Structures are given as C-alpha cells and as structure tokens.
Chains A and B, each alone.
Chain A
Amino acid sequence: MINSLDENKLKFLEEKANEIRRLIIETLVEAGSGHSAGPLGMADIFSALYFHILKFDPRNPFWDERDRLVLSNGHICPVQYVTMALAGYFSIEELKTLRKINTRLQGHPHRAVLPGIENTSGPLGEGISQAIGMAIAAKLDKKDYHIYCITSDGEHQEGNTWEAYMFLGKNQLDNLTIIIDRNYIQIDGITENVMPLEPLKQKLESFGLHVLEVDGHNIRAFIDAINEARSEWKRTSVIIAYTIPGKGVSFMEKKFEWHGKPPDKEEAKKALDELRTLGGKIESEHQ
C-alpha cells in the first residue's frame, strides 16, 4: 500500500507539480518544438508518481526491485524528463538539451540512452503490451515490484491497445495498473469528434478490467485510486484520470491547438506569470 497523505506532503506534491509545470514551459521554449498541453495536464500525476508512489533509486536506475513506469504516449515526455530531473536522475541543466543534437533527451523517449526510461516510445498504442511483458516477467521471477503504464486517450484508437486489453481480460495481471490520461484532445481535434471513445469506462469493463475514475488534478484522490487499484486482487485495474490539457496556463487549457506546439518567448512569459500566481494560491490554501 502507498502511504496516505498528510497536509504537508500534499502541499509538497502540489508545489512540485507547479514546479514541474514551470520547468515544462522553460524546457519547451528552449527546445523550440514539442508538446505543451499533455505534459502540463499530467504534472499532478507525475508529481504524485515520482514523489510519493513509485519505488526507485535515481542513483541506481537499473535497481532490480524498482517499480516500472511505462510511458506509452511518449510525446508527453517533457513532463517525464522534468520530473526525472527534479527526482535526481540528471541535472536540471540537462533539460536545456531536449530535442537538440547529441542529447539523451530525445524528442520521444529512448530507453537505450537515458537510464530511468523503461521503454522507447512515441508510436502510439504500444505501451500496455510492453507493460504486460514486464508484469509477466515479474510474476515468473516472483518479484513484487509494480508496473504502471500511462496511456493517452487518443491512443485508444489504436488496435494494439485493445489487443492488449483483450489479453489482460484473459490473463488478469494484478501487478499492473494502467492510467489513462483522459484529456479529450488529440492532434486533429476533440477525441469525440475525431473518433469517439465513449463510453470508455463501459468498454473497458466489458473487457473484464477493474475500472476507476478520478480527477487527475486531485493528488489525494489519485493516490487513493492507486491504492484501490493495488488492493484489487486478481484483476488489472485501469484508472481513467480526467485531466485538463494545458492545466495551469489559461490560454492553453482545453485547446487541442496546444497539443503539439511549444510556447514562444512571449507566451512562455505569460504562462510563467500565471504559474507563479498558481504557486501563491497553493501556498495560501495550505495555510
């Protein structure tokens, strides 16, 4: 079980999420290309994962007993890179190399060059299958680490995703938890216009999965959902986390236009100002 949160820890995690958002903006401006909305929307969940839920050691990234975080939708990697830097895998300075020549921070994550990345990703729909492989390996080796797989809602249009769910319906791996970033946007528009996914919960349940729904910006509720997922016996849990794409930056929120582009310098300044105000709010809310 994951420890429940006291007020101080909750405040710490919310502040971390805000710091992650600020660094995402700074990193993207420096990179000059990359995805904005998805990474900002997942900052709270990444804060909760890296600073409260996951078992890992940044000085020993290949530690055998570590939990595995499989990022299926590799394009939101700025949030993972930033969070990993804050967690001590590498320096904050290295974030400036994102998407530049000779970098370890490839435009889409590459396992072979960056310790701490568990899977090379980018092409959609492939993460759950790889997470299944890791979960089977853990069972064969009688290891008790847990596998978390983050997927986007858009990649539920890939057949591979449903092949993987069908496999889980049969094989029910309870050492695997899937987190869907349900932010309703994809490159060409709103998911329900491009290719509807609803009723998503019922679809997943009909595959025999244990499905939970949570507000992806409520860190306490998310951690409770992870605990509920992990206490589920003999079933794979899927947490549908409802998030706001671009969260924290008013002019990016819920705008699919921000799926795949970075802010320019002017926009970044505005975004950072807003996030500073948000930081102040977190401070006052916890007083």
Chain B
Amino acid sequence: MLNLELKLNPKIFEEVEQKPIRDGYGDALIEAGEKNHNIVVLTADLAESTRAHKFAARFPERFIECGVSEQNMAGIAAGLAVSGKISFISSYATFSPGKNWETIRTTIIYNNANVKIAGHHSGIVTGPDGATHQATEDIAIMRCLPNVRVISPCDYWEAKKATLYSVEEYGPFYLRYVRDKTPVITTEETPFRFGKIEKFWISKNENAEIAIMATGHLVYQALLAAKELEEEGIDVYVLNVHTIKPLDEEKILEVANKVKGIVTLEDHQINGGMGSAIAEVIVQKSENKPKMIFLGLQNTFGESGKPDELIKKYGMDKEAVKNAVKKLLTF
C-alpha cells in the first residue's frame, strides 16, 4: 500500500493530476532567484522549453543567453561560479551534458565549480522528436564522474525541491528533467531528503519478496504495477531512487538482505544507469544476493512516438514491471 507517512498524493490511483517535471525546475529558479541574488541562469537557445524563460523575464540581468553553443555555456557557467555565483545551465540533456561532456568534466566538475547542470528532455518520453532528442545515457555519463551529485526527480514537486536543494549545497549537481506532463506522485508536503531512497509502496507485513527500485517519472508505473499486483495477492516494495549519486547504500543493503528479487526501472539505458549503480552496491557489499531484472532501454535507441506508446513498446510500463516481478518470484 501507498506509504502515506510520506504525504504522497492520495489521489494517485484516481484522476491523478499531470504536471511537467520541467515546470518544477522553472518554478524553483524563480523562488531561488528571489532569495539568492548570486543565482545566474544560462541557456543555449532553449529558454522556454527548459522553463528558464520565467527566470529570464524576472531577472534579465542574471540570465545569459549563449545561443546554440553548449561548450561555451558550460565554460561561462564555470567562470561565473568560481567568481561567487551559483550557475544553472539549461539545455537538453543530449546536448548538455551530452555534447559538452568534456567541458563539464574539466571546467565544472574537476574544477569544483558551483554549477548546476539541468538536463532536460530526458528519457524516451521526450516522444515525437525521436531518439536524437531523447537523453537516455545521461545518468551513465554523469554518475561515472567523481565530485558530482546526480538527482532524477519523480515528479513536479520533487523536481522543484531537488532544484532548490541544489542551491543549498556547494558544488556540481546534475539534475534530470522530463518534458511532458507526468503524474504528480508527491505533494508539496512530501519531505525531500537528498541522498535517501524512500519506500513509496510498503508491504503490509514488511515481508515482500520483491522490491521495485525506480527513478524519475517511471516511479508512477512502478506504483501502478504494485497496486495491481496487490490485487492479485502479490506483495512488493516500491522504492523511489531520486538521488542516484551518492547512492543510499544503507537502504539498498537493508532491502537486498530482505528480498529474493529486485526490479530496477529507469527511462534510460540499462547499461550504466541507476540499475547498474544499485547492482554495483549489491554485488560488492550485500550478504544476500537477490536476482535482479533491469528494466529500461535494452541497449537500443528510442524512436518517435507518444510517450505512453514508447514506454510500452520498450518495456518500461506497468505491465513490464508486473511481468518482471512474476518472473523473479519463479526463481
């Protein structure tokens, strides 16, 4: 059942409200910009679609339009940051941190500059634009770097809170946002605890045999699956992994020692993503070694289509989750 202690949206299984995760970024920038005059926002010709345009309208002197030049944007952000500013760089994740990865590595991350990298249009749910614009490797290329924190929020509220949190802690962050409207899973009151994995779906007697660990908007599909499995008499846990780096090892080990199987679910390549990160912890540190099934892109690119069609075709919807859970139960 839904973990109501976390004040999750009680209407999640009814007419659930839909709101773009990227709006959480845009709204947080305004709020942070009001409070902290050192915040500067940069974009590479994508102000509106990354929702940086509201900040631009409110604080034009602290908004920097770089044109279509992601490397230049990263470098300028680094220069601002080492001069006392807190820089946010806003673009599509395929371009930033995709195209400008080495500039980010050198001038922001190794250089320890206080820059927040906002990667938008992540995941296959970017939809009709096709695979060129669907960032499905960004978690892998960012989490492999030392000295960066990686957050993949599950909905609008979590995106807003994660963005605001990144201002509070010095240093490079990678924040992953989604274009389309997605279900609002949490509420304004849900606590955001950086670095912590939270159980969104709890088992009645805390004795479920399978845990589903999901990140980003797909947490919703995991919850839908959990509810339907419950109706079939199958108990699971659903864990929301918003912080992919640093990973909540304690929680992962606690879960791994209790269950016989883990399904990981991410709108990202399964190679090097959140599932891989979790497996790294379990393989190295867990006494119990549960079987794992990784759901996500299976070493393939996406394509054009509607978000719900795509997550179905590429095996990231509730049906895929249910099937994976059942398969693990047979081991």
Contacts and interface: CB of A to CB of B under 8 A. Distances in A.
B80 A163 contact: no
Contacts of B78: 119, 129-130, 133
A74 to B, nearest CB: 9
A131 B72 CA distance: 11
Given A119-B78, A132-B79, A137-B79, A159 B71 contact: yes
A129 B75 CA distance: 5
A123 B75 CA distance: 12
Given A126-B106, A134-B80, A163 B72 contact: yes
Interface stretch (A27-35, A110-118, A189-197, A262-270): A110-118
A208 interface: no
A131 B79 CA distance: 6
Contact of B84 (A70, A121, A132, A141): A141
A89 to B, nearest CB: 17
B106 A133 contact: no
Overall SS of chain B's interface? helix
Nearest to B80: A133
Nearest to B79: A133
A218 to B, nearest CB: 30
B67 interface: yes
B75 A132 contact: yes
Interface string B90-123: 0000000000001100110011100000000000
Nearest to A117: B111
Interface stretch (B58-66, B132-140, B209-217, B248-256): B58-66
Q: How large is the interface on B (under 10, 10 to 19, 20 to 34, 35 or more residues)?
A: 20 to 34
A248 interface: no
Contact of A167 (B40, B62, B69, B102): B69
B67 A133 contact: no
A133 B78 CA distance: 7
A71 to B, nearest CB: 13
Nearest to A112: B112
B85 interface: yes
A120 B76 CA distance: 14
A-B interface, 6 closest residue pairs, ranked by CB to CB distance from nearest? A133-B79, A129-B75, A137-B83, A163-B69, A163-B72, A130-B79
Interface of A: 68, 70, 110-112, 118-123, 125-138, 140-141, 159-160, 163-164, 166-167
